[in-house]
Chains A and B, each alone.
Chain A
Amino acid sequence: MQSYIAPLAWEYYARNRWKLLLPLIANIPASLVLLPFAGLESAVAVKELVPIQIVLTLSMVLIVGFSVQASQGSLSRFYLKPISTIQLVSFYYWTGALLVATTVATLLALWQWIVPLGFPIAGSVLFAVVCWCSFQPIVRGVLNSLGWILLVFVLLSCLTIWYLQHYGIQLRRGGMMDSSIHEWASLSRADILFACFVITVSFVLTTWRVSQDRCRTEQYDWIFVEKFSQFVERLLGRRSCTQKHFASPSHALRWFDFKHRCSVEPLLVVINSIAMWVSAVLSVIATQNLQYIPSVVASSMSIVAFMQPCIALAIPMISYIGISMRIPQFLESSSSYRTLGIEPYLFRLPVQSKVLAATILRSSSLSSLLGFAVLLTSFTLAGILGQILNTQMAEAMGLKIPYWKFVLISSTVSLIATFAFSLSSIAFIPLVIRSKLWIAPFVILALLLSFKWSIPIAIAGAILIFVLCILVAATIIALMENDVSVVYTLGIWTLGIGLVFLTLKTFPDPPFSIQSLLTIAVIGLAMLPWFSTAATLRKVRSN
């Protein structure tokens, strides 16, 4: 009898081909965060880098896990083939785990090579594999009851506690900045036993779930969302769908776009902030010392401020990976709409691309501003509480600048970066991919390196020059196509240049450091959507 592995492996490869490299490629933007630290020789000793390590590893695990899952697609396509459930699950479960492990290890080794941050490879790989495996029983079947929501939260909480516990998040002063942190550099016997147990149990449960799913003929994917929605409506006391009255097409579009595309980011910031306050309160209960609350909350909020742009970048990235991998036979038009994160239905309505672009910009601004407001409120509350309790916030957080200056800088940079990244799939990525401009940064990099620039500065410089070139080109095109007025253009450019001066003032020494170059590039990216969105939409609308 012919082996089932060969045809399944061939189908998996043929289905994805070069897209199997997407998990690696998708993590490149995150790697740029490490550039400013590339000059540090003993970064392991810099405790402030631990939060960056945590956020980067977690976002990487998320992107890699999702990409591998998306590349495998639904197993239902094999349900009518003469292959047993255990064979089917075995192939996808173990190859998936192997792929996750290999990709995470490769990326961590790469990051470690860029910056010697002391990334713990073995621990993170084990964590990534356990995460991927433990979610298999949930995602490999239909989610048809509210119980699954609870299960997802319980599972996520357990995994988060397990992960953070290895990063010195202990309920005492200093939290992750404590000198006792060991950053999961070595695997304990308990870790290995726990991992083996979870992976084995998950395999059994996945096989059972797939065998259950195989008996069904209907798909209940939406029932999960439906029940969740009903649950929220019950909570809000609204059982029925009330009629909506939109005053104008723009009003309707704003409602649609915010609900469809922009509501997730602020919601995640709110959830993260609440979680941080709850952990701070728990730490107070455990230590019986009220003074720890402000600094623990503020430290945690700085992680949230850093995570917000990562989430903004991850959402379109995940959506792009998911769509690219789930639709092997690329349906030219509708998939190009969807990779932008825009519903194809909008393009069938009698609305100008310019109006649609304005709506998208407005709802993205609103979404970023909401996140900014939550961050600022949380920081401010922590600051006020610190003053009431006589806590020296800057000292407690190990800051070299005053607390309020730190709050303003981190929240503003987070706001700008969140806005820029949330629109990357519409304003930036299509521009680069479609016009084959992705070659340009490499050419610029080669040029800068030929002038004997150091590699990190050359990379940051190449990114900045590339972004500025695209921005100038997009501005000229927008003016020529009458997408923007001269006053509007002057307004955006004045604001952008003002922010650049502020950045140079904030990072004065040396005048063009990696931090300042990358921050200016992010400012450029945040300016880009105001000029390129309408043109991109027009181009995609009529391809």
Chain B
Amino acid sequence: MSNLVIDIKNLSRKFGDKQALSDVSVAIPEGGVFGLIGANGAGKTTLIKHLLGSHFAQSGSVSVFGVDPVREPVHVLSKIGYVSEDRDLPGWMKIQEIIDFTKAFYSNWDSTYATELMHLFELKPNQRVGTLSRGQSARICLLLALAHRPRLLILDEPSSGLDTIIRRDILTAIIRTTAEEGRTVLFSSHLLDEVERLADRVAIIHQGRILLQNSLDSLLESFRRVTLRFPDSHHVAPGLEGCLNGRGKEHDWSYVHRGTPADLLQAASFAKAQILEQHPLSLDEIFVACVS
């Protein structure tokens, strides 16, 4: 695939005995919004830290804008805007100071945009970073990440601490605008409704492994909940190709099916089962089905 902004191949990472990432491969083309979904501790932040060059690849390779972020941190970081999950900004600095300080590192810093964002986020230039609430810290982090109009915007749990209005209106608008300008957004979240609303492509990460990776539309199309009636009575869910999470009793069993409608028909006819009903799944339901 050409124009890959992020190209991770067979990345594995261990911290002591804990396998944080296992054989992860992700390819993200330029433009669009990529959502990284996973439960807490699934490996989202570790994966992001590899993109920033904060962790080296123990095995496999990581390439951002065609280069290794560990070897070429300046080349990579100058094109990335990053909002970390823990919002660890220097608490002793004032908002104006941290803006002026950060500005010195980016040749394409847009001061007008920074001022606009400062007003939008209702930040006071004289306020010390250490006195900010969690929501305000998230806002200043967003400002610092956005003001140099990065080619890749990485948001690690961006909604954490943000109130509903900022989250639904402003964050959404920022992410969509960034993507529409041809730039790339990678954001991790465990709020699946948010990912469903914003992302063009998604990856589900669980226990350090990528379970699924596809465009959101394809993903939603390829999953459905089906209820089947079997001719014989069963105590446990009968196994069917492409069907997960069987629930029910005796003749009627409900499944999450992954595949095309034709695949479902084929699987049902093979098991001599009758399809009683089927309906599409939300991302939330798909996630639960995949990880449970």
Contact = CB atoms under 8 A, between A and B. Distances in A.
Interface in B47-73: 49, 52-56, 70, 73
A235 interface: no
Interface string A220-236: 01110110010000000
A345 B104 contact: no
B191 interface: no
A350 B101 contact: no
A343 interface: yes
B130 A333 contact: no
A541 B54 contact: yes
Contacts of A260: 90, 92
Nearest to B68: A542
B92 A241 contact: no
B127 to A, nearest CB: 9
A241 B96 contact: yes
Contact of B90 (A221, A225, A345): A345
B55 A543 contact: yes
A255 interface: yes
B100 interface: yes
Nearest to B126: A241
A249 B55 contact: no
Nearest to B94: A241
A350 B104 contact: no
A543 B100 contact: no
Interface of B: 15, 49, 52-56, 70, 73-78, 82, 84, 86, 88-92, 94-97, 100-106, 125-126, 128, 130-131
A243 B100 contact: yes
A334 B130 contact: no
A252 B90 CA distance: 14
Interface in A169-192: none
Given A251-B104, A542-B54, A243 B73 contact: no
Contacts of A512: none
A249 B104 contact: yes
Nearest to A218: B133
B96 A243 contact: yes
Contact of A241 (B75, B103, B106, B125): B125
A348 interface: yes
B77 A350 contact: yes
Task: Please indicate which of the listed interface residues A221, A343, A347, A349 has the most CB atoms of chain B within 10 Å of its own CB.
Answer: A349
B106 to A, nearest CB: 7
B56 A542 contact: yes
A332 B130 contact: no
The 5 closest A-B pairs by CB, nearest first: A252-B104, A350-B78, A350-B77, A246-B104, A222-B130
B6 to A, nearest CB: 17
Contact of B131 (A226, A334, A352, A543): A226
25 contacts: A222-B130, A229-B128, A240-B125, A241-B95, A241-B96, A241-B97, A243-B100, A244-B96, A244-B100, A246-B103, A252-B105, A260-B92, A331-B86, A334-B86, A345-B89, A348-B52, A348-B77, A350-B75, A351-B73, A351-B74, A351-B77, A353-B73, A541-B73, A542-B53, A542-B70
A241 to B, nearest CB: 5
A249 B90 CA distance: 17
Contacts of A77: none
Contact of A225 (B54, B95, B101, B130): B130
Contact of B73 (A244, A252, A344, A352): A352
Given A249-B105, A252-B104, A350-B75, 4 more contacts: A349-B77, A352-B74, A541-B54, A543-B54
